[in-house]
Structure 1
Amino acid sequence: MGVRARVLRRKPIEQLVHPGGGLQKTLGVGHLTMISIGATLGTGIFVVLGEAVPAAGPAIVLSFVLAGFTALFSALSYAELAGLIPASGSSYSYTYATLGELIAWVCGWCLVLEYGVSVAAVAVGWGQYVNELLDLVAGVRIPDVLSQPPGAGGVVNIPAVLIVVLAMLVLLGGAKGSARTNTVLVLIKVGALIMFCAVAFTAFKAGNLKPFYPLGLAGMSAGAATLFFSYIGFDAASTAGEEAKNPQRDLPRAIILSLVVITALYCAVALAAVGAMPWQQFEGSEAALSRVLTDNVSGAIWPILLSIGAVVATTSVVLTVLYGQTRILYSMSRDGLVPSLFAKLNKNGVPYLNTIIIGSFIGVLAALVPLGALADATSIGTLFAFLLVNLAVIILRRTRPDAPRGFRVPFSPVTPMLGVAFCVYMMFSLGFATWVAFLAWMVVGLAIYFSYGIRKAKV
């Protein structure tokens, strides 16, 4: 088989849906929904308002709606494909069935970037939230030498390593136990945000919402562009396709339901925040929600409870995104594109070597590397994967129109085409440094594929 034929070969849907043996089916629609909410609802909402409100003013509430609407196009495509191809590889598997092996590898490599670097970034954020909580409760902080990486005033970020190791140990216990742990964490962090809304609304002043569009519609759109990345993660349930009890029915429901819950919660938090504190005061505030409670509400207990919610929120994100990373590499390993050790399972049906290797690598990354602009590359990798998923829906509607679908994207192909357009727009709104990091990552990935994957692939 020539090189051209190899890079264009596709994997039959039937082979993706019934790979034979492997992971245990233990997850219901509740678990799947909580996985998506757990991966999405994290550091974004706790820090993003300080960046987005100055760009949009009180119209930040509608910015969340617009960003959620943008994410909805890709969410609908994920819902259709997750029901049609319930494989652990998520968008990697979908593109393998539609766009060929090379594009599938590129998509999988993007997901490795998205999930791996974002776990490290969130782990670093977890350490910062722990320091804030210790300061509020006991007036102490972990010294920078032990809580910051080299180049940021420290030697090693021990808290970041700790949370990655804890998540890794939970995952080694099995998918069902991990899902139960995540469900508890999600309920706590949702409760913390509902608590914030209830308390902040006691300081609500209607005058803080006037004028509603101080920076015009352009400001609202700019706020939406910033906020879009708070929605990244809703696709995490699709990485659990092979561990779902009824994937054709439950995966589409989980993806759509998680996006609806997240959007409603984001809008309520934004309205409570800008109603309690004038929008001009959000400028430069990294812990915007905590500041709203500290400056506008009486009672020292509320910022402490919110900080606990922030610690729990980031814990849940580390757990669910690390889970997704291991399942994607499991699928790529089973297909022969990466070494077979990533697909070896223990007695609990967990890819244990995969989990240990990836957890260790991410732990080192979080401990020693100031992520900076590299973390922004997670966004471009995510958007590229979203783009490919929307294209896959269009292609499969033509090539496999009669394949059973638990959910169908309405108004196709217009809806997925709009999803492609929004993804392209968002990608080109990212900075030059992000594109350089992304292209460098792609060069490394293509080198690995053409030296290893193209020869070892099992189709």
Structure 2
Amino acid sequence: MSNPPERGPEIGEKSAIKSDKQLRRALNQWDIAFLVVGAMIGSGWLFGPLGAASTAGPAAILSWLIAGFLMIFIALAYAEIGGMLPKTGGIVRYPQYTHGGFTSFLMGWAYFLSAVTVAPSEAIAAVSYMSSYLPQLMSSGLLTPLGTLVAAVLVIFFFFLNWYGVHVMGKTNTGVGWWKLLIPTLTFILLMTLAMHAINYSGLAGGFIPYGWSAVFLAIPTTGIAYSYLGFRQGIDYSGEARKATDVVWGTIIGYVIVMFIYVMLQVAFVGAVNWGAVKVSPGNWQALYSSVLSSGPFYEIMTTSGIAILAGFAVILLIDAIISPSGTGWICIGTTARTIYGLAADGHLPQTFLRLNKYRVPLWPMITALVLGLLFLLPFPTWFSISSFITMTTVFTYIISGPSLMTLRKMAPNANRPIKLSAASVIGAIATIAAFLIVYWSTFYVLWFAIALILAGLPLFYMYTMVNKYGASRTTAIILGIIYWVVLVLSTYFLIYLPFAAPAGWPASSPTTMLKFEPTHLIDFVSYVVIMIAMVVGLTLYMASTTKDRETAMKHIGAGWWVVATIFSAYVLSFLGSFSIFQTPIIPFPWDTVIAALVALGLYLYGSYSGIFTEDLAVALKELGGV
């Protein structure tokens, strides 16, 4: 620790310590494991296998295996960090410890955008399955007003289960977790025993990989696969309420491995159980399954149309689980949203009011905010696949820092207590960063343009609150520059991205309806947008930092965060040029685009690891945990 921590206003980690100590430490290893299980086995198992098979055919099995392999490196990196620094809202607090305020805001804002949408996505999934026997809940694949009302009631239920304490939610979730393990397991066992059609795997037109390898990777972020694996984060976000740091580490790993096995087996069973005649789709036309009778309830419809009495009877249990599984994930994730908001306050990006706890020792205003935002996010994303793609991209984007944070902590606090210390940490960190970047890249330009615009839209809030309160910038200047930034962002996004790209491709549908023929004007529009936004982000941020009272600290934190800006625009540019763009003929074809993306990610990992700094927040956290 040769680098001394910076001196700044005593907000952030120092203010959070008192609240951290008041949190109820009630979760043991199996409670953490079942938080992971409960978050991972939700709507993903109900809809993911259908979306994956529709996109990649039988090769969707490989999509689940590849995604699980990639995500496990991210989970391992966070397991070491979470064990070393068990903090509630940890995933948004770790960037503050290792790279300072600018990085933690960008990552925290992106994670916030994803966190607030998970609970409503699970409510939407539950209502979608209910529509199998209550068709008035959905119309043309969208929630009706009645369906939206039912989803809202579920979100409110998620809120109250969390409101009365982590011990109530945690123990309830552990009990429900056994159900969530049992039903999917019985589902793939029954289908593989009674309803398999071996010809489905490789004997139909197109064989095992009917749509090519690019479709195998496309399925990972866009059909619910990566979304289903995101739930490992719950062990980290609730780590400040675990009894011991080792419970966080092993609970996270155990939960992840169990669920990964279940998901792969569910996809194997789904592919083999498709009865083409029963679902009225020509054999081998996997893409048509998306709009078939399976769309409202994939496993339910497969079982009811199988003609096998045991499966038809078990389908009734699936309808019950279709409410329980998404609800279990929903009540965990609305709690995660609250802890994300709590973490942003601990980083100094929100008022200290958001560190207050209720009498049950749960974050008070973060829980209320999570409820309100969860209800609002039922409106812009009416289908499960559209909201899951958005959540996947914004969440996995924040995971890109896992590798650089891991290596920064190894460098800045080599002797801190670590319940698990990874071998070959630099290799694991590199793979974790590359994996996260690739999943973001594979999300397609169609998803990225909207998600990145929302991430960039948060920056004026950093000017107006964090730079004013933490670094001493002028509030008036921050407001003026923030408004200018928003005006430029909205106008440039609308005229240079939405009109020439998104609108012709069919946005805001859940997927593009047309592919565009590349024209030189497209390149001009896109380059103009990127240049304008880079100039705005870099120029206004540097100017704001130069006017602060604590200029040295501000510039130090800004400097440590430029690699995140580079990450955002690198993913954006590659998405425009590569095979996951919206052009009929990509500028960089597959697989070279993915190879280039992996190399860029490796460079960003090295840049991010080099950019890490020893912050005062890290010093405070380590001292409080006895790590210094």
Normalising by the residue count of structure 1, what TM-score does the alignment of the two structures yield? 0.87
Q: Secondary structure at the match of 1:232?
A: helix
> Are residue 350 (structure 1) and residue 362 (structure 2) matched?
yes
- Relative distance call for 1:207 and 1:128 in structure 2 (3 A) is closer
Q: Distance in 1 between matches of 2:31 and 2:182?
A: 18
* Paired amino acid for 1:38: G
How many Å separate the matches in 2 of 1:415 and 1:228? 19
TM-fit CA distance, 1:44? 1.5
In the alignment, does 2:182 pair up with 1:191? yes
User: Residue type of the partner of 2:180?
Assistant: K
Q: Does residue 113 of the first structure (1) align with residue 126 of the second (2)? A: no
Unaligned runs of 5+ in 1: none
Q: Deviation string for 1:154-182 (max 9, x for gaps)?
A: 37711111111111111111001101121
Q: Is the 8 A contact 1:229 1:379 kept in 2?
A: yes
Q: Describe the shift of the 1:178–1:16 C-alpha distance in structure 2 as closer, same or farther (beyond 3 A).
A: same
User: RMSD across aligned C-alpha pairs, in angstroms?
Assistant: 2.9
Given candidates 431, 434, 439, the residue that maps to 1:418 is: 431
What does residue 92 of structure 2 align with? 92
Which amino acid in the other structure matches residue 185 of structure 1? V
1:176 matched to 2:202? The reply is: no
CA-to-partner distance for each residue in 1:323-381, whole Å, 9 max, x for gaps?
A: 11111211222343212232211221111232123212312332x43446565332221
Please report how far the alpha carbon of residue 214 of structure 1 lies from its aligned counterpart in structure 2 after TM superposition. 4.0
CA distance in 2, matches of 1:358, 1:387: 25
Alignment of 1:328-343 (within 5 A): 328-343=340-355
Residue matched to 2:323: 311
Q: Which sits farther off after the overlay, 402-411 or 56-65?
A: 56-65
| 8 Å Cα contact 2:220-2:439 kept in structure 1 | no
Select the residue among 202, 208, 213 that pairs with 1:210. 202
Aligned length: 442
- Does the 8 Å contact 2:12/2:348 carry over to 1? no
Give how far 1:245 is off.
Answer: 0.3
Q: Is the 8 A contact 2:16 2:355 kept in 1?
A: no
Could you tell me which residue of structure 1 aligns to residue 448 of structure 2?
435
User: 2:597 maps to what in 1?
Assistant: none
- Cα offset for 1:130? 2.5
Structure 2 residue 404 is matched with structure 1 residue 400:
no
Residue by residue, what CA displacement relative to the aligned partner does 1:132-190 show, whole Å, maximum 9, x if unpaired? 2xx1xxxx444559x998xx653771111111111111111100110112122222222
Look up the SS of the partner of 2:425 in the other structure. coil
- Give me the whole-angstrom Cα distance separating, in 2, the residues matched to 1:158 and 1:148: 16
Larger Rg over CA atoms:
2
1:262 matched to 2:259? The reply is: yes
Corresponding residue for residue 27 of structure 1:
27
- Higher RCO (Cα < 8 Å, 6 or more apart): 1
- Tell me how far 1:207 sits from its aligned partner: 3.7
Give the distance between the partners of 1:403 and 1:389, measured in 2 at CA. Answer: 18
- 4+ runs of 1 displaced by more than 6 Å? 9-12, 14-19
d(CA) in 1 for partners of 2:62, 2:382: 31
Residue 100 to residue 143, structure 1, CA distance change in 2 (3 Å): closer
Give the whole-Å Cα distance in 2 for the aligned partners of 1:430 and 1:220: 12
Code of the residue aligned with 1:288 in structure 2: it is: P
For residues 96 and 154 of structure 2, the distance between their equivalents in structure 1, rounded to whole angstroms, comes to 33
Give the deviation of 1:19 after TM superposition. 6.8
Give the AA of the match of 1:273. F
CA contact (8 A) 2:26 2:166 kept: yes
The change in CA–CA distance for 1:436 and 1:223 in structure 2 (over 3 A counts) is: closer
Per-residue CA deviation, residues 233-285 of structure 1 (Å, 9 max, x unaligned), is: 211110111110002x1111112111101111012212222233368365224
The letter of the residue matching 1:203 is: A
**Aligned-partner residue type, residue 284 of structure 2:** Q
Q: Distance in 1 between matches of 2:469 and 2:82?
A: 26
Gap runs ≥5 in structure 2: 1-5, 276-282, 471-615, 618-628
Pick from 441, 449, 453 the counterpart of residue 462 of structure 2.
449
Contact 1:199–1:297 (8 Å) recurs in 2 = no
CA gap 1:450/1:330 in 2 versus in 1, 3 angstroms: same
Q: Say whether the 8 Å CA contact 1:56–1:214 is kept in structure 2.
A: yes
Give deviations 1:370-400, integer Å, cap 9, x for gaps. 4465653322211111101221012112222
Residue 15 of structure 1 and its aligned partner are, at CA, apart by 9.3
Q: Is the 8 A contact 1:168 1:355 kept in 2?
A: yes
Q: Distance in 2 between matches of 1:374 and 1:127?
A: 14
In the alignment, the residues of structure 1 paired with residue 153 and residue 463 of structure 2 have an alpha-carbon distance, to the nearest angstrom, of 36
The one-character-per-residue Cα deviations of 1:415-436 (angstroms, maximum 9, x if unpaired) are 1111111222221222334223
Distance 1:144 1:258, change over 3 A: closer
- Compute the displacement of 1:94 (Å): 1.1
Query: Which amino acid in the other structure matches residue 96 of structure 1?
Result: Q
1:122–1:314 contact (8 Å) kept in structure 2: yes
- Normalised TM-score (structure 2): 0.65
- CA distance change for structure 1 residues 312 and 304 in 2, over 3 Å: closer, same or farther? same
- Secondary structure of the 1:421 match is helix
Distance 1:112 1:214, change over 3 A: closer
* % same residue: 21
The answer to whether the aligner puts 1:167 opposite 2:158 as a matched pair is: yes
Change over 3 Å in CA distance of 1:269–1:370 after alignment to 2: closer
* 1:59 Cα deviation from its structure 2 partner: 3.5
Asked if the contact 2:12–2:345 (Cα under 8 Å) also holds between the matched residues in 1, the reply is: no
The answer to whether the Cα contact below 8 Å between 2:39 and 2:332 also exists between their aligned partners in 1 is yes
Instruction: Give the letter for the 2:333 counterpart.
Output: V
Cα pair 2:22 2:361 within 8 Å, conserved: yes
Question: Kindly tell me: are residues 210 and 73 of structure 1, through their superposed partners in 2, closer, same or farther at Cα, counting changes over 3 Å?
Answer: same
SS at match of 1:440: helix
**2:39 and 2:328 in contact (8 A); partners too:** yes
Q: Secondary structure at the match of 1:99?
A: helix
Residues 188-220 of structure 1: per-residue CA shift (max 9 Å, x gap) = 222211221232122224343334734365554
Shift of 1:115: 0.9
Hey, what does 2:301 align to over in structure 1? 291
One-letter amino acid matched to 2:73: F
CA distance in 2, matches of 1:304, 1:164: 24
CA contact 2:137–2:147 (8 Å) conserved in 1: no
Q: Deviations over 1:304-331 (max 9, x none)?
A: 2112112111001111111111112112
